[in-house]
Chains A and B, each alone.
Chain A
């Protein structure tokens, strides 16, 4: 089966995000005074083949914990879609 996984990687809440903070401060300067917090993460698309959804999730857990996210400072979650047709 063909699957598409969308991975969302975010810094842990306990970690300062200098990039997010710079963007927040720019937004406030632009007049968006209501913006209280900006956090910059990553969204990663992975196309993969796996026997079934369970295997797909097993592979994605490995990929995410080994390389896509650094567990020291990041968390991840992902959603999987089965690719139909071509």
Chain B
């Protein structure tokens, strides 16, 4: 199981991702954003950070990096792609995921530990979880306020593309549990096929007990199991 972690200028969670993936027991290599091939990887990770300094809008410039054409093709083949934090923003800007990110309600950068509820287990990254499971994961962002127009939002909900929702300790997605103003408490979504997932929380920062939690392992373990099983999106199981 080999993960490819894409490094954009300004990525700063690339090493965290590689270390975490290795700690969970898999291989990970960096892919420089100027590379044009993503062949040989079982899963692509777009890590967090400040690609291009968040100039213009988070992710707006990174989506035109040379590697992104291959990422789009890889995603269209039904292979697993995950964007974490700034990586999520890049996938949104690239049009691989629906919606957009706005500045947090309250305008502050939020660095915290939150709970998210698993809403969908049909993505490679949540296939090892159960619906309703609550994970505790760190967040660290200024622009994590998920927005989609009303029609897109309704379609997302209908098609089960909401993957993670901010919730309280009981698993309820209350307004108080929503850190940034995201519509419907959305913390992560998938594309229609389910193989592309974006999430604002950082699973890679919760893979070792010494760092305060291990819930993030389930994201990486799920996709590894999914790849091992040879399951393709659109099939049951």
Q: A68-B56, A70-B93 are in contact. Are A16 and B105 (CB under 8 A)?
A: yes
A67 and B64 contact, CB distance less than 8 A? yes
Q: A67-B56, A67-B60, A67-B64 are in contact. Are A18 and B147 (CB under 8 A)?
A: no
Question: Is A73 close to B, CB under 8 A?
Answer: yes
A18 and B104 contact, CB distance less than 8 A? yes
Q: What are the residues of chain B within 8 A of A52 when measuring CB–CB?
A: none
Q: What are the residues of chain A within 8 A of B147 when measuring CB–CB?
A: 15, 72-73
Q: What are the residues of chain A within 8 A of B106 when measuring CB–CB?
A: 18
Question: Which residue of A16, A22, A67 contacts B181 across the interface (Cβ within 8 Å)?
Answer: A16
Q: Which 6 A-B pairs have the closest CB atoms?
A: A72-B100, A73-B100, A18-B107, A18-B103, A22-B107, A18-B105
Residues of B within 8 A of A (CB): 56-57, 60-61, 64, 92-93, 99-100, 102-107, 145, 147-149, 181
Closest to A68 in B: B56
Closest to B100 in A: A72
CB A70 to nearest CB in B, in angstroms, measures 5
CB A39 to nearest CB in B, in angstroms, measures 13
Q: What are the residues of chain A within 8 A of B61 when measuring CB–CB?
A: 67
User: How would you classify the secondary structure of chain A's contact residues: helix, strand, loop or mixed?
Assistant: loop
A20-77 interface (Cβ within 8 A of B): 22, 67-68, 70, 72-73
CB B30 to nearest CB in A, in angstroms, measures 26
Q: What are the residues of chain B within 8 A of A70 when measuring CB–CB?
A: 57, 60, 93, 100
CB B112 to nearest CB in A, in angstroms, measures 17
Q: What are the residues of chain A within 8 A of B56 when measuring CB–CB?
A: 67-68
Closest to B64 in A: A67
Q: A70-B93, A73-B147 are in contact. Are A16 and B60 (CB under 8 A)?
A: no
CB A61 to nearest CB in B, in angstroms, measures 17
Closest to B104 in A: A18
B99 and A18 contact, CB distance less than 8 A? no
* Alpha-carbon separation in the docked complex, A14 to B57 (Å): 19
